[in-house]
Amino acid sequence: MATPHNQATKGEIAKTVLMPGDPLRAKFLAETYLENVKQFNTVRNMFGYTGTYKGKEVSIMGSGMGMPSIGIYSYELFSQYDVENIIRIGSCGSFKENVHLRDIIIVQGCCTDSNFAHQYELPGTYSAISSYALLERAVNKAKEKDVVYHVGNVLASDIFYHADQGSVEKWASMGCLGVEMESYALFATAAYLNKRALTLLTVSDSLVSNEETSPEEREKTFTAMMEIALEIA
């Protein structure tokens, strides 16, 4: 069985999938941390791998950028491949002075400027939140590893180059810790299909200080976040 975007057959993908946006980060993570690795997807160069970490089966697959992309991949994984948990491991921009480069954000919930949830025809605004069971395990693991982390809301935006230059201050004033582009769709899809999802983000750039990391750093050096995800998978 395959889907339009995934050539894997049933049984080749683990119950828990780690999803970085960048497929090269998926490749790095699989080659660095997993044993007995098998690549299950190359369609559109959205690489997917299954292997074992400390004897436990886990899969890693890229999601691409934006809510439409992760919406497709997460829906197919949940509905066609019997995946139970997806843990997004991504990067984000910080909205806060006290959320620094390389800090980890454990995402509790997502605000959005997207209309992704219109498909559910709800009589109101849907609040997209993570799985508390996964979130609690991630917090405990972050404490154990003694890394700097924050728990809270982020903005999942459809827009990278925003025409409204004041949008950062507006979202920050409502308590958003940072901005990324995927988690709202992931959390909504998981809720709709009665599955579990969590997002872990490493701060790759600050919209306050204008500090930033390089593409290579984002691909290969956000290992604390990766290890937390692997430990709770």
- pLDDT over 80 (residue 1): no
Domain extent, residue 201, equals: 16-232
The mean pLDDT of 48-68, rounded to a whole number, is: 98
Q: Which of 22, 103, 158, 205 is catalytic?
A: 205
Cα 159 versus chain centre, distance? 17
Residue 180 in marked binding region: yes
* CA angle, 164 then 169 then 174, to 5°: 120
16: pLDDT strictly greater than 90: yes
- Indicate if the pLDDT at residue 219 is higher than 90: no
Give the tens place of pLDDT for each residue, 93-103. Answer: 999 999 999 99
pLDDT given at position 165: 85
Tell me if 199 is assigned to some domain: yes
Q: How far apart are CA 231 and CA 110, in angstroms?
A: 24
Output the average pLDDT for the chain. 97
Q: What is the mean pLDDT of residues 154-158?
A: 98
Collect contacts of 210-219 with beta carbons under 8 A, ≥24 apart.
211/101, 212/101, 213/91, 213/101, 213/102, 218/22, 218/25, 218/91, 219/22, 219/24, 219/25, 219/28
User: For residue 61, is pLDDT > 80?
Assistant: yes
CATH number at residue 104: 3.40.50.1580
Task: Flag whether 102 is marked binding.
Answer: no
Q: What is the pLDDT of residue 120?
A: 98
pLDDT in tens, 139-152: 999 999 999 999 99
Find the largest Cα–Cα distance for the chain.
Answer: 49
- Residue 87, domain member (yes or no): yes
**Does 131 belong to an annotated binding site?**
no
- Residue 49 resides in a domain: yes
Check whether 196 is labelled as a binding-site residue.
no
The number of distinct structural domains making up the chain is: 1
230: exposed, middle or buried (C-beta count within 10 Å: 0-12, 13-18, 19+)?
buried
For residue 192, what pLDDT is reported?
Answer: 98
Do residues 41 and 8 touch, judged by C-beta distance below 8 A?
Answer: yes
In a domain, 10, yes or no: no
Q: What percent of the chain has pLDDT over 90?
A: 97
109 carries a ligand binding annotation:
no
70 marked as part of a ligand binding site? no
pLDDT tens digit sequence for 173-196: 999 999 999 999 999 999 999 999
Q: Specify if 11 maps to a domain.
A: no
Residue 88 annotated as part of some ligand binding site: yes
Examine the residue annotation and report whether 22 is marked as an active-site residue of this protein: no
Among residues 93, 91, 102, the alpha carbon closest in space to that of 21 is found at 91
The 8-class DSSP code of residue 8 comes to: P
Flag whether 7 is in a domain. Answer: no
Q: How far is CA 166 from CA 162, 172, 207, in A?
A: 9, 10, 11
CA 54 to chain centre: 22
- The predicted pLDDT at position 21 comes to 97
Residue 69 among known ligand-binding residues: no
pLDDT of 171 above 90: yes
